[in-house]
A and B are shown apart, each in its own frame.
Chain A
Amino acid sequence: MQNKAYGLAKSYYKRASQISLVAGNAHNQLAVIALYQSNILATLYHYYRSLLAKQPFGGVKENLEALLSKAYRTDRSPTKEETGKESRKFLASFIRSQAALYLEP
């Protein structure tokens, strides 16, 4: 239900990201939607894309740091919607390694 609700918005933001490659706004919005859906990997990916755009979204650095800080502290496992059982551990480790790499020292 939640996926359907965000499906249209996601499709438009994806198109926006393809049309305006230099702007990081669309990727930030895709990250926000992914965060609403508790998809941390997708959130991380879109925050990176937003940050690395020629014109990064204004608050994306803070958003990314907040996401990674939380991931680093909580050691949260991905939800069932994100992946199957056996790959959850990898995704959790992967996200934490990104958090450690980005946040430390």
Chain B
Amino acid sequence: MSDTNFFNRDAAIDFLESVISQFEMVMDQLSSEQTFQIYSILIGTCYSVLQFHDTAPITETIMLYLRAFTLVIIKRFSDNTTCSSPLAQVYSRPLKLILAYTSQLPQAIQLLNSEEYAVFFRVINRREFLEPTLEDCMVPLSEDIGLRGFQPMDGFHSHLDWTTVNKITSAIMELQARFMQMRVLYETRVHESGIRHGDYKVMIHIRSI
């Protein structure tokens, strides 16, 4: 990871891609807990950094990262079709993190090719896969966010068990709230440092690590 200027949008994205790439290379060596912790922090970081550079809450860039994370999971499940495998247990959590972005999930899925879609479709339909760790995420909704209905895209609706998906989506909204708070955290730090939002001339350098 070389010097990175987070106030340069392209440099920030390059950096995040580098981190994600390195993460994918070592994730098999990490425990499920470590994987979950890194995913949580990394997605929050992606969200924070990218939102800093974009005016819209969800942008095409975010979509690309959703796709990247989705593909990581798909890739893993392609080789591990038994949902009770340890690896499946590990990746059930990141899948739920992706579901945190349910309102954007249909658009993200549209970026998948037919083969990827087929695998994703198979994975998400596994009730027995989704339920074992549901309790971990079964938390009350944030009052700030509230329950938002799911609006599936045409042609996708009939294939999914929406009761299960909505149940998990509702539970995971708390995590989404935390990601939003994390974005606020970073923006607050920028504000405290006297840098104007969107002032790309000011540089933040990440030293060589």
Contacts and interface: CB of A to CB of B under 8 A. Distances in A.
Interface string A82-101: 11101100111110111011
Contact of B34 (A51, A83, A102, A104): A83
B186 interface: yes
Interface string B5-41: 0100000000100010011011001110110011011
Interface in A63-93: 75, 82-84, 86-87, 90-93
B157 interface: no
A95 to B, nearest CB: 9
Nearest to A45: B37
B45 interface: yes
B202 interface: yes
Contacts of A32: none
Interface residues of B, number: 40
A87 B182 CA distance: 26
A48 interface: yes
Contacts of B181: 52
A41 interface: yes
A83 B29 contact: yes
B182 A21 contact: no
A52 B209 contact: no
Contact of A87 (B29, B45, B193): B29
Contact of A104 (B37, B42, B205): B205
A94 to B, nearest CB: 7
A101 B19 CA distance: 13
A87 B206 contact: no
B189 A86 contact: no
Interface in B128-142: 139-140, 142
Contacts of B6: 101
A42 B140 contact: no
Contacts of B202: 105
A33 interface: no
B38 A41 contact: yes
Given A86-B29, A105-B204, A44 B22 contact: no
A51 B185 contact: yes
B195 interface: yes
B41 A45 contact: yes
Contacts of B203: 105
A98 B196 CA distance: 21
B33 A42 contact: yes
B178 interface: yes
Nearest to A100: B206
Interface of B: 1, 6, 15, 19, 22-23, 25-26, 29-31, 33-34, 37-38, 40-42, 44-45, 49, 139-140, 142, 174, 178, 181-182, 185-186, 189, 193, 195, 202-207, 209
Which 5 pairs of residues, A with B, have the shortest CB-CB distance? A87-B26, A45-B37, A87-B29, A96-B209, A52-B181
